[in-house]
Structure 1
């Protein structure tokens, strides 16, 4: 799997990161006390985010793209 590291302060290089941050904030808003968040709540948020179709992936989910990459390796 290839990795790409964005340069610091170059926001245009990381639109997917910013989009994912926004999705996470839908479930765990700013100011959330993470000491009170359960593992199950985090896992539920991750599952919903990873099962959400994305335009950048041809409207496939992150889980679908991951499975395709694993099976093609």
Structure 2
């Protein structure tokens, strides 16, 4: 609610998923593209630049199953 009131309703996240680690490149940048792919149930793109690609499996396992849209 704070984000919606401060930044506007468009910036309000649908859900928040706490995870132990984020997917980062060797230089320390967070791979937001991969986080979007997981959140939108899309096939993951290239993960070869991640320092630890297993973090994506951990994030996907914590994500609740979403019903398929027909």
TM-score (norm 1): 0.31
Higher helix share: 1
Q: Which has the higher contact order (CA 8 A, sep 6+)?
A: 2
Which TM-score applies when normalising by structure 2?
Answer: 0.32
